[in-house]
Chain A
Amino acid sequence: MTADHVTRRGLMQGGGALLAAAPLASQAQAQAATTASVSKGAPMTPVELTVNGREVHLQLDPRTSLLDALREHLKLTGTKKGCDHGQCGACTVIVEGRRINSCLTLAVMHDGEDVTTIEGLGTPEALHPMQKAFIVHDGYQCGYCTPGQICSAVSVLEEIKAGIPSHVTEDLDKVTFSAAEVRERMSGNICRCAAYSNIVAAIGDVAGEAEA
């Protein structure tokens, strides 16, 4: 089953191939891209990241957010820019094992750190269980908040396991999985299409499997 976005003229040589390829554009590509966008005037800062298991070296304008480093420099466009101000959650990625809004942090602040994006969780050929569950439960519509929802969802299960309390945790010392916990913890990921109850069902499935 495919939904083919590539036009007949541009057939798979162009974007399709790149986008369907490995989770990360090769290091050479990444560096070339960065060099191309070096501009006069702005002092560049070297940044080294491990993104989805691969080391990348970038020269960045220090103003570059982690989000724009991923999307514009590494061409990892799975991470989305919804608001660029920490108000929507579409840019959620996992840095050093924790989910954060990649729009509200500078790439240079993460030198030497480990970043996992949606591309690192799974590919169309090898889906992460959470990605699979989102498909089965129709946990999306337009798809734009989806990578952020999935990165958050994966982290939320870890956070519950780690006993981190939430606003709806009744006893701060007893953190257990529930739909209410999921809803509260996922509230930093807005879905205007509002697949909310489907997303909660998808996360419930994955949590259930993890327990079983």
Chain B
Amino acid sequence: MKFDTPAGQNPIDQGRVIGIPHDRIDGAAKVTGTAPYAYERHDAAPNAAYGWIVGSAIAKGRIAAMDLRAAEASPGVLGIVTHANAGKLTKGSMNTAHLLGGPQIEHYEQALALVVADTFENARAAAALVRIDYAPEDGKFDLAAERLNGVIPPQGFGGPADTKAGDFDGAFASAAVKLEQTYTTPDQSHAMMEPHASIAAWNGDKLTLWTSNQMIAWGVGDMAKTLGIPKENVRLVSPYIGGGFGSKLFLRADALLAALGARQVGRPVKVAIARPQIPNNTTHRPATIQRIRIGADKDGVIDAIAHEVWSGDLPGGGPETAAQQTRLLYRGDNRLTAHRLVTLNLPEGNAMRAPGEAVGLLALEVAMDELAEACGVDPVELRIRNDVQYDPEAGPQRPFSSRKLVECLRAGADRFGWSKRNPRPGQVRDGRWLVGMGMASAFRNNLTEKSGARIGVDGQGRVIVETDMTDIGTGSYTIIAQTAAEMLGVDLDQVTVRLGDSRFPVSSGSGGQWGANSSTAGVYAAAMALRAKLAEKAGYPADQAQFDDGLVRLGNQSQPLAALAGGQGLWAEDSMEYGDLDKRYAQATFGAHFCEVGVDMDTAEVRVRRMGGAFAAGRILNPKSARSQVIGAMTMGVGAALMEALDVDTRFGFFVNHDMAEYQVPVHADIPDQDVLFIEELDDKSSPMKAKGVGELGICGAGAAVANAIYNATGIRLRDYPLTLDKLLKAQAA
């Protein structure tokens, strides 16, 4: 099915099941511990041996010598995989560094060996006996020091590296109010709760991999490419994923090494990347340096805006596209964005929840707060004044498909009690706490991806959906079941959803907040095909048949789905593809974050007291799970603002705080009640679901709202994230 004209009325609009805050259908499995995650498939691979990864102790150089004798002689060892015995491996198209290093070493903790043993304890102990002599080489690890060596990166997911409209320099020079500031954000770690984990089993030349992966088809493709085997010989199974946030978009070392280990020892092998290895072995969100210049009139109306971003990655890697939102969020005839990429020999940088916007807004929305103060305009009002209903680079001929930023700002401000904010910073005290309020706009691009599904009705009238879509906590199981129930006129408990298996039709997968809208649109396409088949069997014209109560109806006549499906069942498969509506219309999601913080008047500890926001993201398919996505993302925004940073040792070239004790993410005590309001919106140019993504919107701007609240509380403006008490104390003393 192709979606190339705006959606009209369709069965989803009934809103009988879709749009209802149903409990998750996978809830009982999750709360009882019976949902099986990758490392736990004793059922599927009962005889699995255990693999333990040996990571590089240097950031750059070569293996001079490797001595495996002690490890091989260690109790229970079945085999050791290294570059020397792994056979020819071709780097996956989504990988920047090789998943198995050697003899060349590209980054610290790059996997150099997998030790396979009969037990977990034996594998871990033997891995420590692998002796590696290194020939280290000098590397580059300091983004700030390398900044001037940045080059124009190739175009990737985030669009062109440079964009321009009008005459920025001229307009900025003549602006009544000028703002120019530089902001920095650190490297961040996904820190999902389930480590990267896989079990691999070979049956002849066919590989089955039970793994934890957001993008099944990408995983199949890169596994096949890396091993040099046909895609048909690779099966990935990933029904439950203990968090991803971008860390599990790609084939990673656990999966490849499990496959290589299983091939070598002739039995299934399971591998989890140990927690202290994860930050340096896998991907992370790259640090940025961001320069923002805004020229406005005295009322804060923007005439010129520029956002330039520097980030680093390994050779062949990509930039952190932090200027993305600045192309679309605010008005201004004269504008430019630019991304420059620096070569660094740190571990691989890549996508983490809302790549681009999540850190871009940490800069832009603080800049807007600074502009509001410079102009003496309320921050909410400033954003309303700079709203624009079309793509400001392209002009009015490219309107937004839907854009309710102003509605979000107004409703959010009202609900939060923004009018009670004292605009003069440092004025409000509550005991030992200096109290401040801050806000920020939320913006995240809406992406749609081709997505397929298979849907059937069995002889009992049960509806079954199969797609390789994944549920990484996003609620995919439930919204897909809701979509199928809505389309075929059955109750939610009549639907079975099977996900995360490469034997099922290829879906959009989970990433870039495209998953919910795209995957349900794929189910919509398959369901339309099945409706046609059922109607045909019933002898009704497909465009007049009604589906409800487990029946297909035409006027007064009706036939049960179960009878039409018969003993064989009836199946249909289709996918949803997209035309050029995303070219003709700018598509994005919007929101407004509000936050109240307390800053200890002595120690400068920052604690979030209240948080709330309003969001417009098209049709909300399940308000319960969507709200959870938003509050979870808001919390990650709090982490980014207050504590999250991978600390770089620029001598050794690694992230020093590489575990969950030292890389701190928010805990229960950091997070107060959070309020989420969804603004009603249907986006008929996004998909037949009229939905847009919402899983990443919540992080976009959340941290800036915290930063702005800190300023309002203290009068101290920090521009170097995270905004920790040492920086506040230093600024206070200066």
User: A36 on the interface (CB 8 Å rule)?
Assistant: yes
Minimum CB–CB distance from B288 to chain A (whole Å) comes to 22
The answer to whether B191 and A192 touch across the interface, beta carbons within 8 angstroms, is yes
Interfacial chain A residues near B665, Cβ < 8 Å: 190, 192
Instruction: A161 to B74: give the CA distance in the assembly, Å.
Output: 50
Instruction: A176 to B159: give the CA distance in the assembly, Å.
Output: 55
* Sampled A-B contacts (23; CB under 8 Å): A2-B497, A3-B35, A3-B471, A4-B498, A5-B499, A5-B500, A14-B44, A39-B76, A39-B117, A40-B75, A40-B76, A75-B42, A80-B194, A84-B274, A85-B661, A127-B32, A140-B30, A140-B31, A143-B30, A144-B242, A187-B668, A192-B192, A196-B631
Instruction: A131 to B32: give the CA distance in the assembly, Å.
Output: 7
The answer to whether A7 and B632 touch across the interface, beta carbons within 8 angstroms, is no
Minimum CB–CB distance from B644 to chain A (whole Å) comes to 11
Interfacial chain B residues near A117, Cβ < 8 Å: 33
The answer to whether A3 and B671 touch across the interface, beta carbons within 8 angstroms, is no
Which 10 A-B residue pairs are closest in the complex by CB-CB distance? A78-B33, A15-B43, A41-B75, A144-B242, A142-B473, A141-B473, A143-B30, A194-B635, A39-B76, A3-B26
Interfacial chain A residues near B118, Cβ < 8 Å: 37, 39
Given contacts A64-B121, A144-B194, 13 further A-B contacts (CB under 8 A): A3-B478, A5-B29, A5-B499, A6-B498, A72-B120, A77-B37, A81-B39, A82-B193, A118-B32, A124-B28, A136-B23, A141-B629, A195-B631
User: B240 on the interface (CB 8 Å rule)?
Assistant: yes
| Shortest Cβ distance from A13 into B: residue | B43
User: B734 on the interface (CB 8 Å rule)?
Assistant: no
User: B733 on the interface (CB 8 Å rule)?
Assistant: no
Please, how many residues of chain B have a CB less than 8 angstroms from a CB on the other chain? Answer: 92
Interfacial chain A residues near B274, Cβ < 8 Å: 84
Interfacial chain A residues near B493, Cβ < 8 Å: 1
User: A146 on the interface (CB 8 Å rule)?
Assistant: yes
The answer to whether B673 and A197 touch across the interface, beta carbons within 8 angstroms, is yes
> What per-residue 1/0 map shows which CB atoms of A107-147 lie under 8 Å from chain B?
00000000001110111100100011011101011111111
Interfacial chain B residues near A146, Cβ < 8 Å: 30-31, 33
The answer to whether B119 and A1 touch across the interface, beta carbons within 8 angstroms, is no
> What per-residue 1/0 map shows which CB atoms of A16-35 lie under 8 Å from chain B?
10111000000000000100
The answer to whether B25 and A2 touch across the interface, beta carbons within 8 angstroms, is yes
> What per-residue 1/0 map shows which CB atoms of A63-89 lie under 8 Å from chain B?
110001001100111111111110110
User: B472 on the interface (CB 8 Å rule)?
Assistant: yes
Minimum CB–CB distance from B712 to chain A (whole Å) comes to 23
B193, B272, B495, B499: the one within 8 Å of A90 (CB): B193
User: A42 on the interface (CB 8 Å rule)?
Assistant: yes
Near A by CB (< 8 A), chain B positions 614-668 give 624-625, 627-629, 631-636, 659-661, 665-668
The answer to whether B660 and A118 touch across the interface, beta carbons within 8 angstroms, is no
The answer to whether B193 and A80 touch across the interface, beta carbons within 8 angstroms, is yes
Main secondary structure of the interface of A (DSSP, over half): loop
* A71-B40 contact given A3-B497, A198-B628, CB 8 Å threshold: yes
* A142-B631 contact given A19-B34, A127-B28, A131-B31, CB 8 Å threshold: no
Instruction: A2 to B492: give the CA distance in the assembly, Å.
Output: 9
Near B by CB (< 8 A), chain A positions 169-212 give 179, 182-184, 186-200
The answer to whether B35 and A143 touch across the interface, beta carbons within 8 angstroms, is yes
Interfacial chain A residues near B74, Cβ < 8 Å: 41
> What per-residue 1/0 map shows which CB atoms of B488-506 lie under 8 Å from chain A?
0000110111111101000
The answer to whether B34 and A138 touch across the interface, beta carbons within 8 angstroms, is no
Minimum CB–CB distance from A39 to chain B (whole Å) comes to 4
| Shortest Cβ distance from A25 into B: residue | B42
User: A150 on the interface (CB 8 Å rule)?
Assistant: yes
The answer to whether A184 and B23 touch across the interface, beta carbons within 8 angstroms, is no
Minimum CB–CB distance from A57 to chain B (whole Å) comes to 18
Instruction: A145 to B481: give the CA distance in the assembly, Å.
Output: 24
Interfacial chain B residues near A18, Cβ < 8 Å: 42-43
User: B669 on the interface (CB 8 Å rule)?
Assistant: yes
Minimum CB–CB distance from A34 to chain B (whole Å) comes to 10
User: B245 on the interface (CB 8 Å rule)?
Assistant: yes
Interfacial chain A residues near B237, Cβ < 8 Å: 7
Minimum CB–CB distance from A127 to chain B (whole Å) comes to 7
The answer to whether A1 and B492 touch across the interface, beta carbons within 8 angstroms, is yes
| Shortest Cβ distance from A9 into B: residue | B503
The answer to whether B503 and A3 touch across the interface, beta carbons within 8 angstroms, is no
User: B36 on the interface (CB 8 Å rule)?
Assistant: yes
The answer to whether B497 and A193 touch across the interface, beta carbons within 8 angstroms, is no
User: B541 on the interface (CB 8 Å rule)?
Assistant: no
Interfacial chain A residues near B667, Cβ < 8 Å: 187-188, 190
Minimum CB–CB distance from A42 to chain B (whole Å) comes to 6
| Shortest Cβ distance from A144 into B: residue | B242
Instruction: A119 to B671: give the CA distance in the assembly, Å.
Output: 29
The answer to whether B119 and A39 touch across the interface, beta carbons within 8 angstroms, is yes
Minimum CB–CB distance from B663 to chain A (whole Å) comes to 9
| Shortest Cβ distance from B241 into A: residue | A142
* A3-B29 contact given A80-B194, A190-B660, A193-B243, CB 8 Å threshold: yes
The answer to whether A183 and B47 touch across the interface, beta carbons within 8 angstroms, is no
Interfacial chain A residues near B243, Cβ < 8 Å: 141-142, 144, 192-193
Interfacial chain A residues near B509, Cβ < 8 Å: none
Interfacial chain B residues near A195, Cβ < 8 Å: 628, 631-632
Interfacial chain A residues near B495, Cβ < 8 Å: 1
Interfacial chain B residues near A183, Cβ < 8 Å: 668-669, 671
Interfacial chain B residues near A186, Cβ < 8 Å: 668
Near B by CB (< 8 A), chain A positions 142-160 give 142-147, 150
Interfacial chain B residues near A187, Cβ < 8 Å: 667-669
* A191-B669 contact given A39-B76, A124-B34, CB 8 Å threshold: no
User: B276 on the interface (CB 8 Å rule)?
Assistant: yes
* A192-B245 contact given A1-B493, A85-B661, A182-B668, CB 8 Å threshold: yes
Interfacial chain A residues near B450, Cβ < 8 Å: none
| Shortest Cβ distance from B31 into A: residue | A131
User: B674 on the interface (CB 8 Å rule)?
Assistant: yes
Minimum CB–CB distance from B98 to chain A (whole Å) comes to 26
Instruction: A18 to B43: give the CA distance in the assembly, Å.
Output: 7
Minimum CB–CB distance from A180 to chain B (whole Å) comes to 8
The answer to whether B31 and A134 touch across the interface, beta carbons within 8 angstroms, is yes
User: B508 on the interface (CB 8 Å rule)?
Assistant: no
Near A by CB (< 8 A), chain B positions 450-476 give 464, 471-475
Instruction: A131 to B27: give the CA distance in the assembly, Å.
Output: 9
User: B122 on the interface (CB 8 Å rule)?
Assistant: yes
The answer to whether A87 and B660 touch across the interface, beta carbons within 8 angstroms, is yes
Interfacial chain A residues near B29, Cβ < 8 Å: 3, 5, 124, 143
The answer to whether A87 and B661 touch across the interface, beta carbons within 8 angstroms, is yes
Interfacial chain A residues near B30, Cβ < 8 Å: 140, 143, 146
Minimum CB–CB distance from A30 to chain B (whole Å) comes to 11
